Amino acid sequence: MGLWSFKDEVVLVTGSTRGIGLGVAHAFAQEGAMVLIVGTNESMARQVAADFKSKGRLADGFGCDVTDFHQVQETVNKILDIHKRIDILVNNAGITRDNLLLRLDENDWDQVIKVNLKGTFNVTKAVGRAMIRAKKGRIINIASVIGLTGNIGQANYAASKAGIIAFSKSAAKEFAHRNITVNCVAPGYIRTDMTAKISEAVQQKVLERIPLSRFGEVHDVAGLCMFLASPAADYITGQTIVVDGGLTI
């Protein structure tokens, strides 16, 4: 049993078929939540939910591309029909398309902004409406330390993540009167498929800059998400909390 119970809570995690999203979904499910698994690949989302259920957890899987405004509305409506409410939303779906600014093509710029920033808007709008009706909700947006510091080869990604931070502050102000908090989690280097693409040499250089001398694991991010969704964080909104082993200090 962990620090908090999420029994009877419905938790939607976008991009939860793999990586950080899967780890976050797993952590909430372990504490009794009904977790809604979402990825572009519907059969994978259903399979992940089936795996959770086979371990005695509560889960359901949905295919949804967060960049598609109408598909997001339809999926959220379908979820509300079945599960009646969404108590906690974790906007986690995200991609990278790295290149130096002068080599970055228009499509790589557009795709990253579309998935990371517009996707966060699309899902927050659809779920926020239901949370406002319920006068209750927790929204956690997965940003990145790159949104705070910038990075060579990641102008598109940095802009999308800085956008998520500013978006979250605005949403926090708009939703506060309905008892809904909106916060960001800014991970440093977490071991997932996304970071596995980075060359060994670059990984070694990053590792040397991390005071805690290790890369982050998905459970490091999941723990912070659970804290922000718990009663312990009732009075925290509009904040960005870094989880990076000290990389950016």
CB of 178 to ligand NDP, least distance (A): 26
142 binds ligand NDP (CB under 6 A): yes
Given 28, 62, 109, 157, the catalytic residue: 157
Report the residue number, 144 or 237, with the smaller CB distance to ligand NDP: 144
Min separation Cβ 105 and ligand NDP, Å: 19
When the beta carbons of 5 and 43 are compared against ligand NDP, the nearer one is 43
Sequence-distant (≥ 6) Cβ neighbours of residue 45 within 8 angstroms: 16, 17, 37, 38, 39, 61, 62, 63
CA distance readout (Å), 153 to 20, 35, 96, 190, 202: 22, 35, 10, 18, 13
Concerning whether 157 is annotated as a catalytic residue, the answer is yes
Q: Least separation, in Å, of the C-beta of 11 and ligand NDP?
A: 15
Nearer to ligand NDP, 180 or 184 (CB): 184
Question: Smallest gap, in angstroms, from Cβ of residue 239 to ligand NDP?
Answer: 16
3-class secondary structure, 37:
strand
- Is 19 one of the binding residues for ligand NDP (CB under 6 A)? yes
Pairing of strands 180-187, 240-243: parallel
- Is residue 224 part of the contact set for ligand NDP (CB under 6 A)? no
Longest dimension (CA), the chain: 51
Residue 198 binding ligand NDP, by CB under 6 A? no
Nearer to ligand NDP, 17 or 156 (CB): 17
245 binds ligand NDP (CB under 6 A): no
Considering only residues 43 through 62, tell me which ones interact with ligand NDP, judged by CB under 6 A.
44
- Three-state SS for 50? helix
| CB-facing half-sphere around the CA of 48: CA atoms within 13 A | 28
Identify the H or E element spanning 141: strand 137-142
How many residues are listed for the chain in this entry?
249
Among 75, 122, 124, 144, binds ligand NDP (CB under 6 A): 144
Q: Contact, 22 vs 218, CB < 8 A?
A: yes
- Name which of residues 61 to 90 contact ligand NDP (CB under 6 A): 65-67
Q: Which is nearer to ligand NDP, 18 or 97 (CB)?
A: 18
| Torsion region of 44: left, alpha or beta (phi above 0 gives left; psi -120 to 50 gives alpha) | alpha
CA–chain centroid gap for 32, Å, is 19
- Catalytic residue list: 157
Binding site for ligand NDP (CB under 6 A): 14-21, 39-41, 44, 65-67, 92-95, 115, 119, 142, 144, 187, 189-190, 192-195
